Amino acid sequence: MVEPSDTLSADGLPEQSRFSVVARVRSFIYAWRGLRQLVEGEHNARLHLTASLGVVAAGLFLQVSASDWRWLVLAMALVWLAEALNTAIEELCDRIEPGFDEAIGRIKDIAAGAVLIAAIAAAGIGLLTLGPPVLVLLR
């Protein structure tokens, strides 16, 4: 994010400055703000949050192994990454063309499809990882 106090180079881009702990902390603050905006502003993100919390609760209850946790965390991260990028693409498209545009609609559909792919993959990982311990518990 370009701050008003940043200096710009001749080509209008922010100049590279030296490493600054304050700047790094500020970048994390912006990132957390973006995640908060994602969850507060997107219904699907709240569904992903609910699903993520459910997976974590199930994993803790079933005492899954560290190896299984790696898969579960990867699956959840994949869905969150896809949802965040989809939301960013949708917002950018809406800013560029507020009215209906067939090409913009296609772009938004493709981005939404990426979230669907991630969610299906995550559901498969969840079933393969959590399914066997649940079956043992039910026997």
Residues classed as catalytic? 83
Exposure string for 87-101, b = 16+ CB within 10 A, e = fewer: bebbeebeeeeeeee
List alpha helices for 3-42, DSSP H: 21-41
Q: Which of 6, 26, 22, 5 is nearest to 14 (CA)?
A: 6
User: Residues 19, 21, 26, CA angle at the centre, nearest 5°?
Assistant: 110
- CA gap 17, 7 in Å, rounded: 9
Q: Which of 42, 63, 61, 59 is nearest to 125 (CA)?
A: 59
